[in-house]
């Protein structure tokens, strides 16, 4: 038998190609684009939960030690403590996404897994016999998006939005330790 090379076979091939392209486009729309960027949460969705206290103490090491005790009781290890700068930094520890940190969505799916959580306390002396103690929390993740075949097609490292649980817990711990050590604060 001889294959036809006429207009009829060309038309069939065009119809088949159109159907294939339509099927591919439908699959792409249904599953999302493997190269799409992460949709990060809007800043207003989770406002920062940084807390400040007016502490009635000139003893910077004592105040930072109280913050360090609060960090450690919440499961954080100390990365550095510098009394001369009035600064305490924790090492990162894993926390749950999306429970503790909101890291956004990818192709309409909420990003899950774990993020690294780190906290910082700073204590700045004022001209009076007081200082300002401030707590800050940061969540960050290394996102890897995969296509239908399991291949990594998207990599992004970025800061996520904290949902405020870590800050609320640390606020209570810091205030409890300051009270227990008779360090006055407002």
Tell me: the pLDDT tens digits for 112-140? 999 999 999 999 999 888 999 999 999 99
Residue 121: the pLDDT is 97
pLDDT at 88: 98
Q: What is the pLDDT of residue 126?
A: 93
Q: Which CATH architecture has domain 34-180?
A: 2-Layer Sandwich (3.30)
Quickly state the pLDDT bin for 66 (edges 50, 70, 90). very high
DSSP track, the chain: -----SHHHHHHHHHHHHHHHHHHHHHHHHH--TTPPPBPPPTTTS----EEEEE----HHHHHHHHHHHHHHTTPPEEEEETTTTEEEEPPEEEEETTTEE--EETTEE--EEEEEEEEEEEEE-SSS-EEEEEEEEEEEEEEEE-TTS-EEEEEEEEEEE-SHHHHHHHHHHHHHHHHTT--B-
Q: What is the pLDDT of residue 37?
A: 76
Read off the pTM.
0.76
pLDDT digits (tens, 9 = 90+) for 13-58: 665 656 655 554 444 444 446 667 788 887 667 777 778 999 999 9
Domain boundaries, the chain: 1-31, 34-180
Residue 29: what pLDDT? 41
């Amino acid at each position: 038998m001889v294959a036809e090379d006429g207009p009829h076979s060309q038309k069939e091939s065009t119809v088949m190609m159109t159907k294939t392209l339509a099927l591919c486009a439908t699959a792409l729309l249904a599953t999302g684009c493997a190269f799409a960027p992460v949709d990060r949460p809007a800043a207003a969705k989770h406002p920062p939960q940084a807390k400040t206290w007016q502490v009635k103490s000139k003893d910077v090491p004592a105040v930072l030690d109280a913050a360090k005790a609060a960090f450690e009781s919440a499961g954080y290890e100390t990365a550095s403590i510098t009394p001369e700068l009035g600064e305490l930094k924790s090492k990162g520890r894993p926390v749950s996404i999306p429970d503790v940190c909101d890291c956004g969505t990818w192709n309409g799916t909420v990003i899950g897994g774990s993020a690294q959580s780190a906290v910082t306390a700073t204590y700045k002396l004022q001209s009076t016999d007081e200082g300002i103690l401030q707590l800050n929390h940061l969540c960050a993740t290394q996102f890897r998006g995969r296509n239908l075949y399991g291949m990594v097609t998207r990599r992004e490292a970025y800061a996520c939005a904290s949902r405020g649980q870590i800050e609320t817990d640390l606020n209570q711990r810091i205030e409890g330790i300051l009270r227990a050590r008779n360090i006055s604060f407002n």
